[in-house]
Every structure is written in structure tokens, then in C-alpha cells.
Amino acid sequence: MDAVTTEAGLLPNNGDWRAPRPPTQATEGKAAGIARTAKREQRSTDREARAGAVATLGLVQMRHLDPAAALASFEAAERETLTLDSPIGRGWGPARKAWPMIVLGDLRGAARAARQAGDTARTAHDWVHGALSAAFLHSIEVLNGDAEAANL
């Protein structure tokens, strides 16, 4: 299975990450299916497929309110994407690392991760990951109570 097929299959069909909610038996089944796919793809020789699967698993873990597992998945995706040819692909893990860090209360670490991801996105002309990083930085400033920095 190639990276495009993996992404297309995981994100719209199984990711279903619209709104966080506690896991139910049905959603646990989806998460387990994605975990199996990610494990299968981790054995793949295609780095993009592995990175896409692990990053998607992190999204599902966040949806299921497991930020520690999601952070580990996003860090694994970051390692997988370090040497990808695609500058946008290199942002899959790093651009999302700040999210579980915010939920875990590590606002300094989250800000550092979001700034690094934003800098990388800017040099890659990656508007999607740049916007995601900016949104995380905004959230961090709001949580820190700094309305001026958050431009409110």
C-alpha cells in the first residue's frame, strides 16, 4: 500500500476525528483498526506510508483523549519524515506535536514545538502546517493569559 492509499484510506474512513469524545465500543474498534494499519505500515519500506500512518494514529489518539500516546505517535512521525523529499510531508508530525503538549499542560514545550514547526512550514511554503502552528501558538498565549500576544 502506498502513502496516498494509506492517507486516503485512514483519514476519511477511519480517522473520524471531528470532535473529541470519550471512547465507545464502536469508536474503540475504529481506533484498533487504525492501530493495526499503522503497525502494518510501520513495517513498510515506504517512509511516507509509515509516517502518514503514525501521524494519523496520533490524530485518532487525540480524538480518544489520549494525549500521551498521541505525542509519542507525532514524535514517531517526525522521526519518519526527517529525510522525506517532500517539505510538506516533513511537517506531518512536527506540526501536530504542540497539540498533545498543550493538553498535557506543557505550554513551554508546546510553544517551542509550534514555533519550530511554524518556521519549518514557512520555509517550505506549507500554508496548512503554518496555520496549524499559528493556531497552537494563539491557544498557548490565550491559556497563558497574554491577550496582547494573542492579538485579541
| pLDDT (tens digit per residue) in 123-134 | 889 999 999 999
Q: What is the pLDDT of residue 8?
A: 37
Query: What is the mean pLDDT, run by run of 10 residues, along the chain of 152 residues?
Result: 40 44 59 67 73 86 92 92 86 92 96 94 91 93 79 57
Please give the pLDDT value at position 16: 46
Please answer whether residues 28 and 40 qualify as being in contact, where contact means their C-beta atoms are separated by less than 8 angstroms: no
Give the count of alpha carbons within 13 A of 121, CB side only: 21
**74-110 exposure pattern, b = at least 16 Cβ within 10 A, e = fewer:** bbbbbebbeebeeebbbbbbbbbbbbbbbbeebbeeb
Q: Are 74 and 58 in contact (CB under 8 A)?
A: yes
| Cβ neighbours, 10 Å, residue 22 | 7
How confident is the model over 77-108, as pLDDT tens digits? 899 888 888 888 888 889 999 999 999 999 99
